[in-house]
Amino acid sequence: MSLPIAVYSLSVKGNDIPAVEESTDASIHLTMASVDASEKSNKTTTLWVKVRPSMPVDTEEDEEMDEQMKELLEESQREFVLCTLKPGSLYQQPLNLTITPGDEVFFRTSGDATVHLSGNFLVNDEEEDHDHSDDEEDDEDYDLSPSEDDLVDTMSDEKDENEEDSEEEEEEDDEEQESEEDELDNVPAKKVEEPKKKRTNQEETASPQKNENKKQKTEKSNKEKKVAFAEKLEQGPTGPAAKKEQQQEQKQQPKTRTLKGGVTVTDVKVGNGTAATNGKKVEMRYIGKLENGKVFDKNTKGKPFAFLLGRGEVIRGWDIGVAGMNEGGERKIVIPAPMAYGNQSIPGIPKNSTLVFEVKLVRVH
């Protein structure tokens, strides 16, 4: 099974445009062909593809290849129409074409418009598992959940606080007990020497019980006082100062906004560099997830993913969600299915899927 590892994009206008500039071990899965809505031409534009399959040939035999083998290679080249688009009425066409490593693939157009191709680079599960082991350190920058060490430290701190509270309660109980003993020592001798009144067996039995009940009531009262005092401490200061502090905390919390097409964005970190506007080239780092948290695509190291904003080179939700960011900014973008791949199913992404992207704008130029 193959999994997507990066977004693929290519602009085609003219003849013999190669699918990739340099050879790669990854397959390419094309999912969409589109033309820019700002194209002025009203004529149809047809996209052609020419494929020459990879044929493993021994180097020594390659030098002695006869004319018949060359003719077979030329016949193996196939050229066919992928789609026909027309600015003003038909802007895009879903595709399902996979280019395997080693194939020589060229595109050409017949018409005036520029056709933008998009898709994904694919690798096998084994290669993907290997890549994940190398990327663990890079993914730590994007993981917002607390680590196991943080949880252990928090539990340790809570345990220490509970132990300190227990020690304080024991010290207070000891002080109360010492105070009661001191009071007994200071009782006048006359009271001790007074003759004791006779008690019935019933009074002697009830007396220890009364003392025990009184002691329990005293301990319960002390605990209630301690709990009430602790609750007051947890409430913190009140009045204008507290309201001002709460307002500042609310301002610091990231706000979620809903944009065109139901795309929602949350600015985790606001950048202070150049703003991303339509027509500018942007370089991005990102992690793409499904709603259940499963990662289907990412770019966290190496060369950042670059595209022209607002030109249809990426899914519609990206053009909408990235616009307005500044260099250095980080944003969470939630894209509903109609603004992503709709009811189309591609490797790693089921149809009608809502996509969640954590993105960082590296550069605008």
Q: What is the pLDDT, as a whole number, of residue 266?
A: 96
Residue type, 279: G
pLDDT of residue 338: 96
| Residue of 283, 28, 26, 21 whose CA lies nearest to 131 | 26
Which of the residues 121, 305, 307, 357 is marked catalytic? 357
Set out the domains of the chain in order of their start, with CATH numbers.
2-134 (2.60.120.340), 256-364 (3.10.50.40)
Cα–Cα distance for residue pair 271/273, rounded to 1 Å? 6
User: pLDDT value at position 128?
Assistant: 45
Whole-angstrom distance, CA of residue 303 vs CA of residue 313:
18
Residue 22's Cβ-count burial label (10 Å; 0-12, 13-18, 19+) is exposed
Given the residues 8, 297, 307, 349, select the one marked as catalytic. 297
C-beta separation of 323 from 303 below 8 A:
no
pLDDT at 306: 96
290 pLDDT above the threshold of 70: yes
Note the pLDDT tens digit of each residue in 328-358: 999 999 999 999 999 999 899 999 999 999 9
CB 318 within 8 A of CB 302: no
Distance CA 43, CA 90 (A): 11
Mean of pLDDT values over 4-33: 84
Active-site residue, from 5, 315, 346, 349 = 315
Q: Respond yes or no: is residue 297 known to be catalytic.
A: yes
Annotated active-site residue in 107, 341, 346, 349: 341
Query: Do the Cβ atoms of 108 and 50 come closer than 8 Å?
Result: yes
Active site residue 357: yes
The one catalytic residue in 107, 286, 305, 307 is 286
**In the predicted model, is pLDDT for residue 195 greater than 70?**
no
Whether 341 is catalytic is: yes
Query: What's the CA gap between 270 and 332, in Å, rounded?
Result: 12
Q: Which residues touch 100 (CB under 8 Å, ≥6 apart)?
A: 27, 54
**Is-above-0.75 flag for pTM?**
no
Q: Give the model's confidence band at 231: pLDDT under 50 very low, under 70 low, under 90 confident, else very high.
A: very low
Phi, psi dihedrals of residue 127, rounded to the nearest 5°: -65, -40
Active-site residue, selected from the candidate residues 296, 305, 335, 346: 296
pLDDT band at residue 365 under the 50/70/90 scheme: very high
Distance CA 99, CA 121 (A): 10
CA-to-CA distance for 277 and 310, rounded, in angstroms?
8
